[in-house]
Structure 1
């Protein structure tokens, strides 16, 4: 198991993130996700948990703090994780976070970060209602509201076209990709995309990390009783998939995708020198949680093995 103190620390990070900007939510969200990965997979070797805790300590120490200008915002990574003042919890108001999310969840916002951050907070507060204080809920609401005018993210379209924001990309109609009719269909499409394209070099729209975590966030909202919000979120994930599919293979420019030799559920994975560039520190942890959340929807053994193999590209 992951030490319980990380969950409280992560929630502080999410509740305080709005003071620095929406992308500052990466830090608290990763710490919360790391804790829940341990809780959901308590039978793994203890070396795995110690490895995850080491990454969480790096996050809390500010090793990946480039998501905002700390000097301009006047908020350091240490400030994000400061405890909130003590208050009486009001768990009956957790739904305010989802109400805030419903204002922006229908379109892709910053590669799904709006719902990824909010869903992790919702689970933490539902599982531990003593954390659901007015300041914690208000902080996550403000973080979520910060995405109201956010674009879909950015994608790299090669040397000639360069980086383009989602609203600049002209997506052609795809009659072979109808709107989702269920959460299961969304999960199936996401896992299929992972299996088919994990070894393809693309850049942008959060990569497969965010497609996976976006899908997981929707399923978690549904699981915790917010079925209406989950249904409202399906078109945004559908758009996210279309944006990902619009990206070209850029292997000739940047080289091939690297694949991990080891499964992150094994002790040996955490004993190697992990790459932490390109935001891998926070995204490795969030995607551990996200992937195994949607992996639970797979019933076919062969497909599960294919997904596990493709997932190793995300863990390199």
Structure 2
């Protein structure tokens, strides 16, 4: 079993080249054909928004940045029809892309320690559950962006992202139930199956109360599996306690005074189809969960590679989407 990862041990590993040096990304990140066929602009707009969000509304604007990155990755990693990304880009252009939130940063040399700095900012949160795990979710997306597009890892952007990650406050930081033992996040199939099963149970548990708990089970869990996939297994495992706390909170179900929210109507349309996005209103993006939840969902389904689980999830996916 790996030793607990703290800031001191992380620094030693990074200095020795034993951590982050092997950061790996799937083929989409380096494929010239993919880059020519899709709109990489969303990645830059998204990281700009993540980095600038601490100056504004760190929580809401951080979501907006994360959603643009998630939308691009959803389309490229799942080989969705090009028209899906075209429609998504149109939605972003109509809402956030042309605002100050997404404005360009000054040109500058990439920070060679960008990923190390983002990782240290995440580790500073310790085992505390912070605002539904968004410090982990946003850190994972930033690390993936800076790894795939190092030219965007300028000092200003890196500093902004680190400030964002450190902005998240403790939230329902309960003692985790002892029986909650997710598989190693490096075991992509087993960990993804665990996360999908927990999210599925949350969908059932929270019917009539909104599906934020289920959606964030997907995005929080997916961020940890993806960190491990990129070669940052120890960083992912350093967030295990916080994730177990989130599972503990989610298993309790709605609070007695929870606000009731109408469920989505049954629909066979899914976010991997053009028609789904064509039917979505131009001003119906909220703060971006409509992009973040599908990214986590399809990523985990692919890693789990469990047809029976996928079938059972598809029967209830309309609650989430």
1:158-216, Cα deviation, whole Å (9 max, x unpaired): xxxxxxxx25xx77x755x3333412454323211233332442648942111100011
Give the 5 Å matches for 1:193-212. Answer: 193-199=198-204, 200-201=206-207, 203=209, 206-212=212-218
Native 8 Å contact 1:201 1:257 kept in 2:
no
Give 3-state SS (helix, strand or coil) of 2:317's partner.
helix
The structure-2 alpha-carbon separation of the partners of 1:13 and 1:255, relative to structure 1 and needing over 3 Å to count, comes to: closer
TM-score (norm 2): 0.77
Which residue in 1 is equivalent to 2:219? 213
SS of the aligned residue for 1:261 comes to coil
Alignment gaps of 5+ in structure 1: 62-76, 153-165
Whole-Å separation in 1 of the counterparts to 2:192 and 2:128: 18
Matches within 5 A, 1:148-159: 150-152=169-171
Which of 28, 45, 49 lines up with 2:81 in the alignment? 45
Q: Which runs of 4+ in 1 moved over 4 A?
A: 202-205, 249-257, 274-277
SS in 2 for 1:84: coil
| Distance in 2 between residues matched to 1:302 and 1:313, nearest whole Å | 19
CA distance in 2, matches of 1:84, 1:252: 40
In structure 2, what is the equivalent of residue 29 of structure 1?
A: 66
- Check the 8 A contact 1:218/1:230 in 2, yes or no: yes
- Within-5 A mapping of 1:59-74: 59-60=95-96
| Range with greater deviation from structure 2 (201-210 or 85-94) | 201-210
Q: CA deviation at 1:125?
A: 0.6
| Alignment partners' CA distance in 2, 1:212 and 1:276 | 24
| Alignment check: 8 A CA contact 1:205 1:244 kept | no
3-state DSSP of counterpart to 1:263: coil
Aligned residue pair count = 279
2:54 aligned to 4, 14, 18, which one?
18
| 1:255 to 1:126, Cα distance in 2 relative to 1, 3 A | closer
Match of 1:4 in 2: 40
Say which of 214, 224, 228 aligns to 2:230.
Answer: 224
Deviation at 1:151, TM superposition (A): 2.1
User: How many Å separate the matches in 2 of 1:309 and 1:275?
Assistant: 27
RMSD: 2.8
Change (3 A) 1:174 1:82: closer
TM-score normalized with structure 1 length: 0.79
Output the CA distance in 1 between the equivalents of 2:245 and 2:96: 33
1:307 to 289, 306, 313: 313
Q: Provide structure 2 residue ranges, at least 5 long, that are not aligned to the other structure.
A: 1-36
After superposition, the Cα gap between the structure-2 partners of 1:234 and 1:204, relative to the gap in structure 1 and judged at 3 Å, is farther
